[in-house]
Amino acid sequence: RLTAPMRITPEALAQIKTMVPLAPLHNPPALAGIAAVTANLPNLAQFASFDTAFHAGQPKVATTYALPAQLRARGIRRYGFHGLSYASLVATLGDSLPERLLAFHLGAGVSLCAIHNGKSVATSMGYSPLSGPTMATRAGDIDAAAVLRLAAEDGIAATESNLNHRSGLMGLS
């Protein structure tokens, strides 16, 4: 649903809040910023752009997990992230953009994106920014059974915190 820039309205805020599980490191601070601006400048129009939008047109083969239909119907799919970065790259290259491009977003978060004719066709990040290559504080890809074991032994909140905040290069150091 959040595939194009939109004006911040109560409905838009509600939609963004439902997506916090997809981007737990990004959405809460963004929501706090929106709230702070609204509190101080209530008549100022605010707009949001979404990091998953660039990947929204990917073919189903690139976004579908091998799960039963009733689980996929709950929104469990590959969304992809860093789309604002990749969209900027496509716009910057303009006429110099090759037909096929494998792009890398390298920073505290890391992802790869296959781009064909300026459109995302596959990306390394999935349901959340936690998947993909090892990052600064995120584990990256890890076997689901290992996550289930950690959740069973340490609890869901501790496991989420460990995988997002204390893993990756930080966890290896």
Provide the sign of the torsion angle of the four alpha carbons 127, 16, 49, 107, taken in this order: negative
Q: Which of 51, 95, 143, 154 is catalytic?
A: 51
Query: What is d(CA 154, CA 143) in angstroms, rounded to the nearest whole number?
Result: 17
Whether 51 sits among the annotated catalytic residues: the reply is yes
Strand-pair partners of 7: 47
Task: Tell me the catalytic residues.
Answer: 51
